Structure 1
Amino acid sequence: MAIRITCINKNNGYHENPDLAITHLGWIDDNGKTGRNKRVEIYNWIKNEKGEAYVADIYGNRARVITAETNNGTQYLKTEADNSTKNNLLSLPECS
């Protein structure tokens, strides 16, 4: 099962990497179920349970969400490089 990341929540602190500002991610699955989880929960789901997540633009183009770690070991999410120059995750709206 894959989930589409639809929104994010960020905290306002300084971060060595802007993706680390993401605290929660909202999503919808293939069956229409929705949810909102902490960044580390989605990280663990992708990394350890082989879950799949993506971000889609208005044209239906998908960018796969992958796991990453900073040099300090902080776990975060980012999208694989695609044809877009924008940051796919950070461009999503805030979750309500």
Structure 2
Amino acid sequence: MADAQVTCINKPHVNSSHEHITHLGNPANQWRWTREQVITSIDAGTNTFYVIDPVSGVRADIGVVRESGRAPYLRTYADRQWNNNLLSLNQCPI
């Protein structure tokens, strides 16, 4: 299983703080995957994904959240709490 750091995301509307994420990536490692590819990989146990908080240096793992009536989505999990560190990342180059 590979452990991959996510350093950027893409959303349909760049400035929206509540818009869903369409892609996650790491330009330094030359990858950019769709949200669906990341969810499939996490569910299969093929890869783990994480972000590093730029201020504290704390790692936050990315997990799949499933809520009734909604499509699965990704959130970070650190210190036993779900949070939205992903939405604060820069946009990935396309």
On whether the aligned pair clears a TM of 0.5, the verdict is: yes
Q: Deviations over 1:15-40 (max 9, x none)?
A: xxx77610000136xxx632000001
Give the direction of change, closer, same or farther, for the CA distance of 1:10–1:79 in structure 2 (3 Å limit): same
TM superposition shift of 1:71: 1.4
Contact 2:23-2:32 within 8 A present in 1 as well = yes
Gaps of 5+ in 1: 13-17
Residue aligned with 2:44, SS: helix
Instruction: Return the TM-score normalized by structure 1.
Output: 0.75
Gaps of 5+ in 2: none
Which residue does the alignment assign to 2:6? 5
- Of all paired residues, the percent bearing the same amino acid is 36
Instruction: Determine the C-alpha separation between the residues in 1 that align with 2:4 and 2:33.
Output: 12
TM superposition shift of 1:93: 0.5
Contact 2:24-2:33 within 8 A present in 1 as well = yes
TM superposition shift of 1:60: 2.3
Contact 2:11-2:20 within 8 A present in 1 as well = yes
**Residue 35 of structure 2 corresponds to residue 34 of structure 1:** no
Instruction: Determine the C-alpha separation between the residues in 2 that align with 1:74 and 1:11.
Output: 16
Contact 2:3-2:47 within 8 A present in 1 as well = yes
Instruction: Return the TM-score normalized by structure 2.
Output: 0.76
